Amino acid sequence: MRTTVIGVMGPGNGAREIDRHVAKELGSAIASQGWILLTGGRNTGVMEAASQGAKQAGGLTIGILPTATDEGMSEAVDIAIFTDLGSARNNINVLSSHAIVACGMGAGTASEVALALKAKKPVILLNCDRTTQAFFENLSSDNLWIAETVEEAIAILQNALIKG
């Protein structure tokens, strides 16, 4: 049986300190569940922090890079997929994950949450403000959850994956 893959999406260069902090904790918690972490694979922001967290907890990490080569890739990526697709790779991030956690928000992350809702994947919003929560709830309330903490996000994932 294929191991569960959890995608963590979030801002790159525009990530806040709190986004990176929570992403690292989230990456560790995902690895501790025995799940594989999937990110956009770059060496910045939420991608970098989540991948670092997962490695520190002994997990396996996948990075779906927008580039053709490993320039700008996180060193915490174990399995690197080089797409050379730019932002079109965002849809692969979503389709290759059993569920998605958005940790913070930016334009790229918003496209991934929207594509995940379209693909009927479970999506959890973490570190997102009320406007963001309301916008995505209006788009699709069926497969969207709001989490206030990493523990809450993990509990929702456990439930969503049992249901799914």
Positions in the binding site for a copy of itself (CB under 8 A): 2-3, 36, 62, 64, 68-70, 77-92, 95-96, 105-108, 110-111, 114-115, 117-119, 129, 131-132, 134-135, 138-140
Query: In terms of CB distance, is 84 or 151 closer to a copy of itself?
Result: 84
Query: In terms of CB distance, is 79 or 155 closer to a copy of itself?
Result: 79
| Nearest by Cα to 23 from 61, 50, 5 | 50
Cβ at position 128, least distance to a copy of itself in Å:
10
- Residue 38's contacts (CB-CB under 8 Å, 6 or more residues apart) are 5, 6, 7, 8, 61, 62, 63, 64, 93, 96, 97
| Nearest by Cα to 60 from 88, 80, 90 | 80
By the 8 A CB rule, do 74 and 49 touch? Answer: no
Query: In terms of CB distance, is 32 or 140 closer to a copy of itself?
Result: 140
Query: In terms of CB distance, is 28 or 93 closer to a copy of itself?
Result: 93
Helix (H) or strand (E) holding 39: strand 36-39
Cβ at position 43, least distance to a copy of itself in Å:
13
Cβ at position 38, least distance to a copy of itself in Å:
9
Cβ at position 44, least distance to a copy of itself in Å:
15
DSSP bridge partners of 5: 36
